[in-house]
Amino acid sequence: MRRDPLRLRFLRNDRFSTALILLAIALLVTGSGVLNRVDNLLYDLGQRLHSRPPPADLVIVAIDEDSLSKLGRWPWSRRLHAALVDRLHADGARAIGLDLVFAEPDTADQPADAALAEAIARAGNVVLPVLLESSRVNGQLLETLPLPQLLEQAAALGRVHAELDQDGIARSIFLWEGVGAPVWPHFAQAVLATAGALPASFSRTPPAAADAMPFALVRTAPRRITFLGPPGHVRTLSYVQALTGEFAPGTFRDKIVLVGATAAGMGDLLPTPVSGQRQPMPGVEVHANALESMRSGHLVRDVPPAVTLLAAALLALAPLLWLPRLNPLGGLLASALWFVAVAAAAIALPFWVQVWMPVAGALLAILLAYPVWSWRRLEGAGRFLDHELKRLRQELGPAADAQPRVLSHDPFEARIQQVQAAAHRLRHLQDEQRETLAFISHDIRAPLASALMQLDALPAAAQARLRDPLTRGLTLAEEFLRTSRAEMLDAARFEELDFAALVHQAIDDAFAAARAKSVQLVRQLPDDPLWVQGEFGLLHRAMLNLVLNAVHYAPAHSSVTVGLRCAGEWAEASVTDHGPGIAAADRARLFRRFSRAAEQTTGSGLGLYFVRTVAEKHGGTVEVASEPGIFSCFTLRLPLTGLSSSASAAAAQ
């Protein structure tokens, strides 16, 4: 069935306008970053849902509350730190990262600085921090380095600057950073390099600065951290226990040791995706998570902006693949599933391929896809109804302008009521037209039949001259009458019929015409009945039309095969002749009213239209297959009743 070109045009307009709206939403939201907090929430959710076991060779020596209570208030003498470094070195620590700032001399015990420097020199694997800080609010950013004597003995320096996102959560680091030039690696990167465990993909030398910015913070290579777990997940030993040797020998052998503050009063606590604001994570543990992400290849890169915008556009437009094809509930469910799938994929991307792509813009567009599509379809339906109302008024004249008694205040509902009223009037006119056609066909048929009966009283020459046109007129009237009956067929009049017996009777009724042309009728019919619901007279005439049509075009002394079979839930009756066949151009219009094949010079052009009308009124179809010069096969398909379907299923078993 051909679709209304006007409806197709409205549908295309609705798709185009919906696509533009969804694209605008996705691209504007993604490009502006107004929903960055939503993207961050998705990233944080993935971090909370995904936990990895802590590495066995990574240990945190924590300056915790127990250490403060036993060793006294902070700051401690640097002799304690020197003793700790010696203790760790003696136990075989692979690398020691002191996340402690030694920017000023120990005024209470000046020789302590030298003692710490000597301990660092003896260990040979101690990494000290570089702190980026401002002396006042909005002041110039400064790089705070360790004391010169400590700086000379340190194996490496690493930056411990913490980067907080707009929502105050620490999720990411920069591999290189510095004032004026990115010369300092991250603290975790420096510790890994000292331990000989830095992957080859990480550069050991600072990248070249693109532009000289002597007083600005320059940073390169941003990466997101994939956290191992919540605070306390990494193996931790108290500072006082490590200092006094309260651990089993070999505890630090070949281990990477990070020393830092975990006590709440120390101020070195950061909110993270796995901890939030209520339970911040100590900065030293953040470095431990960054270190393990670097070593295991789990640092996450951000997708380039151009790729992000393209992906957002494609994800936002995806609902238009199913919304025009599904019913409203199906479209709503499919869009909801797509929303969940995109969100789940975004959450999983950092763990699958170590990339992060913000999808909040696409998710918002997907969330609005169904409402926007429904709105555009409603607008399109309104325009279509207005157009149909105008067309009905033009076709029906003043009768279509009659308004319904109750007119809704809703403009859309009012349109529907007007269309219903016009459609009711149209159906009434169609019924009158069919009744008039049937009446005219009957009135034409009666005098033609009477004239044929009186031909015998005329001379032979007059009979020969009048019989053929009168017969054709009578046949045309009868076909008009049958077609009118088929078009006005009411399914309430259907009864259960044995389709096999009906086909047998149609073949019997065509036997005389076949014998007159020396055409053999071959039956390929089942012994068991095939039950269908229908009107016997019309179905019988439809099958008889197909058989007589095949006999008419079959060559003399050939055969016409009439078959019937059960095909699933359908009964298929086929009529095959080996006549001239039908060209492809003719097959496309064969079942239209008043349509005939190019080589057909007789007939009204209503026979096959009648067959198609009967088939459709019975919920079936009629089709033709042909090869010119070889064969033509017409197939009438009707739905079987439950009785026939059960019998065919039992026979198959």
> How far is C-alpha 28 from the chain's CA centre?
21
Residue 455's pLDDT is: 65
Phi, psi for residue 632 in degrees, rounded to 5: -140, 140
- For residue 213, what are the CA distances in angstroms to 182, 210, 220? 11, 9, 14
CA angle, corner 413, sides to 407 and 415, nearest 5? 80
Residue 406's pLDDT is: 47
- Write down the H helix ranges in 275-327: 283-296, 305-317
DSSP state of 222: E
Percent of the chain with pLDDT over 90: 53
Cα 261 to Cα 287: distance, rounded to the nearest angstrom: 12
**Mean pLDDT, rounded, for 19-45:** 93
pLDDT at residue 241 greater than cutoff 80: yes
182: left (phi over 0), alpha (psi -120 to 50) or beta: beta
Cα 259 to Cα 62: distance, rounded to the nearest angstrom: 6
Q: Which of 221-235, 367-381, 455-469 has the lowest mean pLDDT?
A: 455-469
Q: Which residue has the higher pLDDT, 6 or 354?
A: 354
Domain locations in the chain as residue ranges: 57-301, 411-485, 491-652
Cα 222 to Cα 303: distance, rounded to the nearest angstrom: 11
**Mean pLDDT, rounded, for 604-630:** 85
Residue 493's pLDDT is: 77
Residue 365's pLDDT is: 95
Amino acid present at 27: L
- CA dihedral sign, ordered 284, 286, 289, 294: negative
Instruction: Give residue 2's pLDDT band: very low, low, confident or very high (50, 70, 90).
Output: very low
The two three-digit tokens of residue 457, written as one number: 């009283």
Q: Which residue has the higher pLDDT, 310 or 165?
A: 310
pLDDT at residue 390 greater than cutoff 60: yes
**Mean pLDDT, rounded, for 463-477:** 63
> How far is C-alpha 177 from the chain's CA centre?
41
Q: What does pLDDT average to over the chain?
A: 84
pLDDT in tens, 415-426: 667 666 766 766
Amino acid present at 332: L
Q: Which helix (H) or strand (E) is 522 found in, with range?
A: strand 520-524
pLDDT at residue 10 greater than cutoff 60: no
Residue 494's pLDDT is: 85
Max distance between CA atoms of the chain, in angstroms, equals: 150
Residue 592's pLDDT is: 74
Residue 465's pLDDT is: 63
Instruction: Give residue 136's pLDDT band: very low, low, confident or very high (50, 70, 90).
Output: low
Instruction: Give residue 597's pLDDT band: very low, low, confident or very high (50, 70, 90).
Output: low
Residue 515's pLDDT is: 93
Residue 649's pLDDT is: 47
Please state the pTM of the whole predicted model: 0.65
Instruction: Give residue 23's pLDDT band: very low, low, confident or very high (50, 70, 90).
Output: very high
**Mean pLDDT, rounded, for 432-437:** 65
Residue 419's pLDDT is: 65
**Mean pLDDT, rounded, for 240-260:** 94
3-class DSSP assignment, residue 418? helix
| Superfamily for the 491-652 domain | Histidine kinase-like ATPase, C-terminal domain (3.30.565.10)
Q: Which residue has the higher pLDDT, 194 or 217?
A: 194
pLDDT in tens, 502-536: 999 999 999 999 999 999 999 999 998 999 999 89
Residue 653's pLDDT is: 44
User: Residue 381 burial (CB < 10 Å; 0-12/13-18/19+)?
Assistant: middle
- For residue 550, what are the CA distances in angstroms to 234, 310, 507, 606? 87, 60, 11, 15
pLDDT in tens, 564-590: 999 889 999 999 999 888 888 777 778
* Selection from 332-336, 383-387, 641-645 with the highest mean pLDDT: 332-336
CA angle, corner 407, sides to 401 and 412, nearest 5? 90
Cα 171 to Cα 45: distance, rounded to the nearest angstrom: 12
pLDDT in tens, 276-331: 667 889 999 999 999 999 999 999 999 999 999 999 999 999 999 999 889 889 99
DSSP state of 630: T
Interior/surface letters 638-649, b for 16+ CB within 10 angstroms, e for the rest:
bbbbeebbebbe
Q: Which residue has the higher pLDDT, 238 or 7?
A: 238
From 617, 610, 614, select the one nearest 592 (Cα to Cα): 610
Q: Which residue has the higher pLDDT, 397 or 88?
A: 88
